[in-house]
A and B are shown apart, each in its own frame.
Chain A
Amino acid sequence: MKKTLFDKIWDAHVVESIPAGPDILYIDKHLIHEVTSPQAFNELKERGISILRPKQIVATADHNTPTENQHLPIKDLLSRNQLKQLTKNCEDNNITLYGLGHPYNGIVHVMAPELGITQPGMTLVCGDSHTSTHGAFGTIAFGIGTSQVAQVFASQCLLVDKPKKLRVNVNGELRYGVLPKDVILYIISQLGTNSGTGYFCEYAGNVFEDMSMEGRMTVCNMSIEMGARGGLIAPDETTFDYLEGKEFAPKGEDFDMMKVYWKTLKTEEGAEFDKEYSFDASDIEPMITYGTNPGMGIKLSDSIPKNSGKSDEKALEYMGFKEGESLIDKPINYIFIGSCTNSRIEDFRTAASYIKGKQKAVNVNALIVPGSRQVAEQIKAEGLQLIFEEAGFSLRQPGCSACLAMNDDKIPAGEYCVSTSNRNFEGRQGQGSRTLLASPLTAAATAIAGKITNFTQNLN
């Protein structure tokens, strides 16, 4: 039988298949952070089991960290304790930690790829649903719960059923001003939030082939928002060029040898998928969400569709919107450019190119949060910091920040935020906050206009 990219990597990692049960899947890399790991460390301690392969684990602090004054002790006692616990757990178990202030610190799904930790053909897990991001490299990467974090600690393996296979093809030419974020928001708006449940999704077609690694990461990141455990894109020259020279990527001859293997990681012609969808790139426009799940998205130029039942009604009521209305000209007081979806250098370059020479509207609080220390340094080095500051944007230190509002970066109740993050759930960005998901360009344009605007006419 012809194999898909997913089959090739999965099958190469099966230690054993339990008859009429799950596979024992070997995990190459395990990323951990402060929020979903402490109970797993406790679990092992209570059972008197040691961590099997500490060298295959990399830790960072990101979810619960402040984005200001990171050099000072953290004010929030519980947050400080959680980070202290992570440091202690890593020290006790010989795990590499890129903690707060370390030059490699950052959001787990930004720092690992930029260090070359994520490589094609690997299996990679993390106690975070957006682990799907790493699929951009042709990696089987998926989010796990804390019990599973403990399982990987104990055995470097997981007991998992092989997911079904889904392929989403997008071919054609993207319109001017349409970013990878718009592509994935469009796909989710078409397929719905649970279309991918039980599946791993491969993205194929020239639109993904033409994307940068940053763009591919944005797309794969949101696979979970349509329910898919993960998403992946076949590695190619773009992938290899990105990886070459990265801190933990193979070097010299080793790199060339790996490249030979990586080039074989493609879906074979005629391989079968359980489900397949195809979209035309020219149908995609800049997107924005109007509801309380990422599938409730429309083109900026469209109106909110008729609601289809109680749950939609509840969502519209929460958002303060009505069916049939357009979002254009809605006043917005907050914008957030950041999160594991859109906090890489390319995202800030795009935002800065629109913002340059303009001023944010007086009503807007504009928050810019880089995904990692390395991205923050690059923002400075490329002169983007000046552009943001002159335009009145607040540039912060790296972390997950207002994407999930575990730290002080919260959107007040009732306020709207055009956000480049991945979830518009009720209260996601703070109790009572109302999130509209969009691309960095849409967020930047909103900040300048002080309201939602169909900015494509202003592009030159």
Chain B
Amino acid sequence: MEKFISLTDTAVPLEIENIDTDQIIPARFLKATDKEGFGENLFQDWRFDKAGNPNSEFNLNNKKYKGSILVAGNNFGCGSSREHAAWALKAYGFKVIISSYFADIFKGNSLNNGLLPLQVSPGFLKEIFTAINIDPSEKLHVDLENQLIKITSTGASEKFEIDPYKKNCMINGYDDIDFLVSRKEAIQKFEEKTFQF
């Protein structure tokens, strides 16, 4: 897994609540058997009209906005467990998703792919949206080591929470499989002493 330590970049705002994984990557694109190419179809039905022309009102198509940070409304990533949503965001070029709330499965999937789901308070989320509204070239600074997010122009910042184990994995690029395989002996012992269905 790719390491993540800190990042300073511009952001794309998506001020919509409850963005579900069906919007992030519609089911008709889930027929692949590898992880490649999902970025092209990220937010497909919001980015393009039925004729395949870019929808100019959607912020990912707005030249004003660019960067590797996506800022989204409350409860991002709800719905289906498809990890394809995290793969699509990552492949498109996002490294951090900021929201005031993440759905559980999406959050786990992101962390397992080195994509940082960064949860801020509803108030700070509003401040970020406002700052980007005023100046789309506003840069956000994300410091995973110190668990701090900062709006660079105003200097406003907020601490964010992350599971210490997961933080360590992100910073070092470790993933769960390596860890679990290393605990094989303990797992086998557990199997021996407990009832097996």
Q: Give chain A's interface residues, CB within 8 Å of chain B.
A: 12, 15-16, 18, 20-22, 24, 26, 28-29, 35-36, 38-39, 42-43, 47, 49, 52, 63-64, 76, 78-79, 81-82, 85, 119, 121-122, 127-129, 143-148, 150-151, 154-159, 161, 163, 193-194, 197-198, 224, 227, 229, 293, 309-311, 314, 404-406, 413, 423, 425-428, 431-432
Question: Known: A18-B165, A26-B187, A406-B31. Is A157-B180 also a contact (CB below 8 A)?
Answer: yes
A43 to B81, CA, bound (A): 18
A227 x B78 contact (CB < 8 A): yes
What mask results when residues 172 to 197 of chain B are scored 1 for a CB within 8 Å of chain A, else 0?
A: 00011101110110110011001011
What mask results when residues 70 to 87 of chain B are scored 1 for a CB within 8 Å of chain A, else 0?
A: 000111001111111010
A24 x B187 contact (CB < 8 A): yes
A193 x B163 contact (CB < 8 A): no
Can you add 4 more A-B contacts, CB < 8 Å, to A20-B164, A22-B163, A423-B20? A148-B112, A150-B177, A426-B22, A426-B23
Q: Which of B2-10, B11-19, B137-145, B147-155 contacts A (4 or more CB under 8 A)?
A: B11-19
A431 x B109 contact (CB < 8 A): no
Question: Which residues from B are CB-within-8-Å of A122?
Answer: 197
Question: Which residues from B are CB-within-8-Å of A47?
Answer: 177
A263 to B102, CA, bound (A): 36
Q: B89: shortest Cβ distance to chain A, in Å?
A: 13
Question: Which residues from A are CB-within-8-Å of B177?
Answer: 43, 47, 49, 147, 150-151, 154-155
Q: A133: shortest Cβ distance to chain B, in Å?
A: 13
Q: A153: shortest Cβ distance to chain B, in Å?
A: 9
The range of chain B's interface size is 35 or more
Question: Which residues from B are CB-within-8-Å of A36?
Answer: 81-83
B31 x A427 contact (CB < 8 A): no
Output the nearest chain B residue to A410 by Cβ-Cβ distance.
B28
Closest 6 CB pairs of A and B: A21-B165, A147-B112, A78-B31, A155-B180, A145-B109, A38-B33
Q: How would you classify the secondary structure of chain A's contact residues: helix, strand, loop or mixed?
A: loop
A158 to B86, CA, bound (A): 19
Question: Which residues from B are CB-within-8-Å of A12?
Answer: 194
B187 x A144 contact (CB < 8 A): no
Q: A88: shortest Cβ distance to chain B, in Å?
A: 10
Question: Which residues from B are CB-within-8-Å of A35?
Answer: 30-31, 82
B101 within 8 A of partner (CB):
yes
Question: Which residues from A are CB-within-8-Å of B32?
Answer: 38, 78, 82
Question: Known: A15-B186, A311-B16, A311-B18. Is A227-B197 also a contact (CB below 8 A)?
Answer: no
A15 x B187 contact (CB < 8 A): yes
Contact with A15, one of B105, B175, B190 (Cβ below 8 angstroms): B190
Q: B92: shortest Cβ distance to chain A, in Å?
A: 18
Between B15, B28, B34, B86, the greatest number of chain A beta carbons within 10 A of the residue's beta carbon is seen for B28
Contact with B16, one of A82, A310, A413, A432 (Cβ below 8 angstroms): A310
Question: Known: A21-B163, A146-B83, A194-B78. Is A405-B194 also a contact (CB below 8 A)?
Answer: no
B103 within 8 A of partner (CB):
yes
In B1-60, the 8 Å CB interface with A consists of: 15-18, 20, 22-23, 26-28, 30-35, 45, 50
Output the nearest chain B residue to A427 by Cβ-Cβ distance.
B45
Output the nearest chain A residue to B179 by Cβ-Cβ distance.
A159
